[in-house]
Amino acid sequence: MTRPLTDTRDLSALPIGVFDSGMGGLTVLHECLVALPSEDFIYVGDTARFPYGEKTKEELERYATQIAAFLECTGVKLLVVACFSATAAALPALQARFSTPIVGVVMPGARAAVQSSRYRRIGVLATEATVASGSYERAIHGLDVAAEVHQQACPKLATFIQEGDVASQEVVDAVRRYTAPLKEKRPDVVIMGCTHYPLVAPMLQRLLGRDVTLVNPALEIAREVGDVLARQGIARQEDREGEYSFLCTGDVETFRAVGARFLQMPLGEVRQVGLDELAACEAAHDARGTA
Ligand code: DGL
């Protein structure tokens, strides 16, 4: 949906909305906080419906649309879909339905991988939903049609990382299990295609070997967010420290505890947003659109 030409509001003071199925998007938020320290952010973790990696395209479109409607009605100047599974399944549907600019997470990582790969052999570690969508293959081939793309789905890895200790045996065994077949394809660049995986980046690097360049798309996403704000003239100009607010659909205390581990800073107050509230925002958005 395009923005009406009569809408000439100054949007720069509005926060940036970021959402994920749970905690993984906090690795994207972290890079945004480093790159854009004076911006305000509002983060929604859909922990009640985590994990997204096992959901269907239709479910992911519905969840992402509800959260985008909620954030748009809260008032944000840009939306970051900080979840690969949701981006892969729902980015076109979101762009069709909302007028707020939306940054997804697949393309920035694909671009960095293509630019970094000397041998044009690119590996992707991602959830089942992301692999099944084929979006990485499309994004990489859109930039280099002859690059080899080797995808490896990593069932449960995000769940183990989110729910346990990143150095637990469960995580180590899973990382070993998923990196072994990928290593056989001899990629020179591997994309961490799930927002949870940067938490196990040292382990991935050890198991894939020193010759493999690991791409953390979060860095590229933060850069893209900065570029969009600058080009549209909606970046915060003041020298200030931004404010952050956190919402989740599941248990608030768990979010606060696990979130502090992901973000490595206290989250402060976390508000719970009900699934019914999200659904109501979507209905209100639709009603406004058809009015
Ligand atoms: N954050 C999700 C992603 O980047 C992974 C976790 C999940 O399965 O929900 O795909």
pLDDT digits (tens, 9 = 90+) for 223-235: 999 999 999 999 9
DSSP β-bridge partners for residue 81: 19
pLDDT tops 90 at residue 104: yes
Strands 16-20 and 148-153: unpaired
Pocket test for ligand 1, best of 136, 195, 249 (most atoms within 8 A of CB): 195
Give the tens place of pLDDT for each residue, 127-148.
999 999 999 999 999 999 999 9
Using a 6 Å CB cutoff, which residues line ligand 1? 20-22, 24, 50-53, 83-85, 127, 130, 158, 194-196
The number of angstroms, rounded, from the C-alpha of 180 to the middle of its chain's C-alpha atoms is 25
Q: What is the mean pLDDT of residues 94-114?
A: 95
DSSP β-bridge partners for residue 125: 152, 192
How far is the centre of ligand 1, averaged over its atoms, from the C-alpha of 238 (Å)? 34
pLDDT value, residue 197: 95
- Establish whether 248 is a catalytic residue: no
How far is the centre of ligand 1, averaged over its atoms, from the C-alpha of 191 (Å)? 14
Question: The whole model's pTM is what?
Answer: 0.93
Which residue puts its alpha carbon closest to atom 1 of ligand 1? 83
Q: Cβ of 43: how many Cβ atoms within 10 Å?
A: 29
The CA distance from 8 to 145, in Å, is 40
Percentage of residues of the chain with pLDDT beyond 90: 87
Give the tens place of pLDDT for each residue, 273-290.
999 999 999 999 888 875
Q: What is the mean pLDDT of residues 263-270?
A: 90
pLDDT value, residue 290: 55
Q: Which helix (H) or strand (E) holds 69?
A: helix 57-74
- The pLDDT mean for the chain works out to 94
Atom of ligand 1 nearest to the CA of 129: 10
Helix (H, G, I), strand (E, B) or coil at 111: helix
Place of tokens 């209905």: 283
The number of angstroms, rounded, from the C-alpha of 143 to the middle of its chain's C-alpha atoms is 21
The CA distance from 58 to 44, in Å, is 20
Strand segments, DSSP code E, in the chain are: 16-20, 41-45, 78-81, 102-103, 121-126, 148-153, 189-192, 213-215, 244-248, 270-272
Peptide bond into 51 cis (omega under 30): yes
pLDDT band at 261 (very low <50, low <70, confident <90, very high): confident
How far is the centre of ligand 1, averaged over its atoms, from the C-alpha of 100 (Å)? 23
Place of tokens 């994309």: 191
pLDDT value, residue 172: 93
Atom of ligand 1 nearest to the CA of 54: 8
Pocket test for ligand 1, best of 19, 46, 59, 83 (most atoms within 8 A of CB): 83
pLDDT value, residue 123: 98
The HSE-up count of residue 14 (CA atoms within 13 Å, CB side) is 20
The CA distance from 252 to 190, in Å, is 34
> Do 192 and 217 form a contact (C-beta atoms < 8 A)?
yes
Q: What is the mean pLDDT of residues 72-78?
A: 94
Among residues 32, 154, 194, 248, the one annotated as catalytic is 194
pLDDT value, residue 66: 97
- Establish whether 83 is a catalytic residue: yes
